Structure 1
């Protein structure tokens, strides 16, 4: 689920639409070599040069949130199949280390019914519903989309039932009048 961060973690945010997340690419000169040793502070957090312990904790929280957001959106994409429109769109926040971290995201999915094909609409809405509820912690918006898909499935089932009833009535009309009367008479006779 996408949730707000505590006030101490809220910084100006940057919105980036991307299918390939490159916002956190590290410049080659910033990649530590195998020779470099990073010591841990007494809090167990790896120190970032020139940052306070509070800023270091903020970075760790942003990293955790970034992973959570990306996993959430990838779950939607994996389950949504052909109905997902484009990739994930992330909302980023710049951390005290200058890097961008995903703090929110969304995936667009097609929830329109398939015209004149209630069976296909039912199958599609089952996929949409599964995609909406795919993340470990669906958001309120995810539940809303799942409910919309369920409503479209109900409409499609009602349309399918109406079509079958119309088809059955049409077949009964094709039968001769005598056959219909005979059928009704025999039913009345059995019931009486």
Structure 2
């Protein structure tokens, strides 16, 4: 996760690499004979299938972030690509930037926003470690907003303690 203080955004990253397809380099480019004949070896075809599966996984992961983030998304999904032995580009990783700034002077709005950030971070079926870290930070933001709300309520009641037990 990259945090930029100036814009108050986090990047929610795609699923962690779990297959060799995610780390494919250009060394898997088709040979000259494969390019002219259009044929790939069995190993190259298997690799293309792995790349296609990874591409689908990454795109679904980032789309889940975008769908849950709504107006918090400050960009569309950004993808990292690898070129397969068939000459096609496949997504191997990605991220979505979201606004994680508190709502100045409004702890109730900040609480709601923190909940939305947490939902966006945990939206994919398999949140990455970075996604879980963003969710934890959103939980901390929500807790701080709750404390501010409680403090405001206490001030409004002349410092009287409020029983929050159920």
Whether the aligned pair in 1 keeps the contact of 2:22 and 2:54 (CA below 8 Å) is: no
* SS of equivalent residue, structure 1 residue 113: coil
Aligned to 2:126: 137
1:77 to 45, 49, 66: 66
1:154 to 143, 148, 165: 143
Whether the aligned pair in 1 keeps the contact of 2:111 and 2:141 (CA below 8 Å) is: yes
Aligned to 1:52: 41
Alpha-carbon deviation of 1:7? 4.4
Q: Report how many aligned residue pairs link the two structures.
A: 137
> How far, CA to CA, are the matches of 1:2 and 1:132 in structure 2?
12
Task: Provide TM-score, normalisation by structure 1.
Answer: 0.67
Aligned CA-pair RMSD: 1.9
Please list every run of 5 or more consecutive structure 1 residues that lacks an aligned counterpart in the other structure.
14-47, 173-192
Please list every run of 5 or more consecutive structure 2 residues that lacks an aligned counterpart in the other structure.
1-13, 27-36, 161-166
Task: Provide TM-score, normalisation by structure 2.
Answer: 0.77
Higher relative contact order (CA 8 A, sep 6+): 2
Say if 2:134 is the partner of 1:121: no
The 3 A distance-change label for structure 1 pair 107 and 133 is same
> How far, CA to CA, are the matches of 1:84 and 1:130 in structure 2?
12
